[in-house]
């Protein structure tokens, strides 16, 4: 009797956007066999960010922390929940440290997970420095399809694991990946339905739980920064980033609050119409996309 597995794609996190400004320093030598090729970027306020080259583009590996647009204009902040929900202007918020065990100040939250921006801030086109941009839907699909098309072990169901930071509570990878110090993922599990009788899908089944972990083999280091909607939620469980050009967010599904156990699955082509006043972290990219980027479906 063969055992048949049905994986529930109840996954957590995604990829979208970036925010920065002047100055980029890169390593002078590039060894194609030396693993991720890192550079750096400094925004208009002097915040330093590590970058990494993946395929055709160079991506920030950290979430934006700037409180000013790239022309020096301050980005509004400090809105109360009602103001945040009704504003039609760009704004940023700090995820409340009171909601995060292990972080004792707003500064610690920002250093670990960056700031949360609404879509009106992205829409200005002034979050990234000259030569850099908030990633479009095509940028995100281009990143994922580059990995899927060029690495035999990567497919649409597991590509997220290769972009996700390995920092995780009870990570099965051990070493420095196994940590409860922020920034990090909470314990990550995959639910598997096991049908004892392959020929009878209505037979009794059992649930198995297997531990998952991101490998971060390309240095992208996606972290679960959550979201802000007048209050913060989701740190440790989900990672979502803005796209540019529309109010669509590139993301994957995540386990419900009831299940309390996220699994990371970054799946190309999933776009959701999200409120423009929701706050998400942002990243920037630079580089020329391939002429044609496949899409699973249009937003």
pLDDT digit string (tens) for 44-84?
Answer: 999 999 999 999 899 999 999 999 999 999 999 999 999 99
Domain membership of residue 264 (yes or no) is yes
Distances from the Cα of 251 to the Cαs of 50, 102, 126, 131, 280, in angstroms? 23, 26, 23, 25, 11
> Which comes out higher in pLDDT, residue 76 or 23?
76
Domain membership of residue 248 (yes or no) is yes
Q: What is the pLDDT of residues 84-114, one digit of tens each?
A: 999 999 999 999 999 999 999 999 999 999 9
pLDDT band for 138, please (50, 70, 90 cuts): confident
Domain membership of residue 297 (yes or no) is no
Tell me which residue range forms the domain holding 219.
Answer: 4-286
Query: In this structure, what token pair is assigned to residue 206?
Result: 């059992």
Domain membership of residue 299 (yes or no) is no
Q: Which residues pair with 6 in a beta bridge?
A: 193
Domain membership of residue 298 (yes or no) is no
pTM of the model: 0.77
CA distance 171 to 177: 6
Comparing 48-52, 115-119, 164-168, 274-278, which segment has the lowest mean pLDDT? 274-278
Domain count, the chain: 1
Could you tell me which residues come within 8 angstroms of residue 175 by beta carbon, excluding any fewer than 6 positions away? Answer: none
Domain membership of residue 296 (yes or no) is no
Domain membership of residue 291 (yes or no) is no
Q: What is the pLDDT of residues 201-217, one digit of tens each?
A: 555 656 555 566 789 99
Domain membership of residue 63 (yes or no) is yes
* In the predicted structure, residue 196 carries a pLDDT above the cut 70: no
Peptide bond into 265 cis (omega under 30): no
Strands 48-54 and 57-60: antiparallel
Q: Which helix (H) or strand (E) holds 51?
A: strand 48-54
pLDDT at 272: 52
């Amino acid at each position: 009797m063969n055992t048949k597995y049905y994986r529930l794609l109840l996954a957590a996190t995604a990829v979208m956007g970036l925010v920065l400004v002047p100055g980029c320093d890169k390593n002078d030598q590039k060894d194609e066999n030396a693993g991720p090729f890192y550079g750096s970027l400094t925004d208009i306020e002097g915040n330093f960010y590590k970058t990494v080259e993946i395929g055709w583009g160079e991506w920030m590996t950290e979430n934006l922390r700037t409180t000013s647009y790239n022309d020096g204009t301050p980005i509004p902040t400090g809105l109360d929940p009602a103001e945040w929900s009704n504003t039609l202007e760009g704004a940023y918020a700090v995820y409340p440290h009171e909601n995060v065990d292990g972080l004792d100040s707003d500064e610690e939250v920002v250093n670990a997970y960056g700031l949360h921006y609404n879509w009106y801030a992205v829409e200005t086109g002034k979050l990234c420095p000259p030569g850099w941009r908030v990633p479009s839907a095509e940028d995100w699909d281009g990143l994922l399809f580059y990995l899927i098309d060029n690495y035999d072990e990567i497919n649409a169901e597991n590509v997220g694991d290769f972009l996700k930071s390995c920092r995780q509570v009870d990570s099965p990878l051990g070493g420095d990946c196994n940590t409860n110090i922020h920034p990090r993922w909470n314990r990550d599990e995959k639910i598997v339905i096991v049908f004892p009788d392959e020929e009878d899908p209505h037979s009794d089944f059992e649930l198995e739980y297997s531990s998952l972990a991101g490998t971060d083999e390309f240095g992208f280091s996606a972290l679960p920064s959550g979201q802000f909607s007048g209050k913060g939620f989701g740190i440790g469980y989900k990672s979502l980033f803005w796209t540019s050009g529309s109010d669509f967010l590139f993301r994957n599904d995540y386990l419900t609050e009831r299940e309390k156990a996220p699994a990371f699955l970054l799946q190309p082509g999933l776009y959701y119409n999200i409120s423009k006043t929701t706050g998400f972290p942002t990243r920037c990219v630079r580089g020329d996309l391939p002429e044609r980027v496949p899409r699973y479906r249009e937003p």
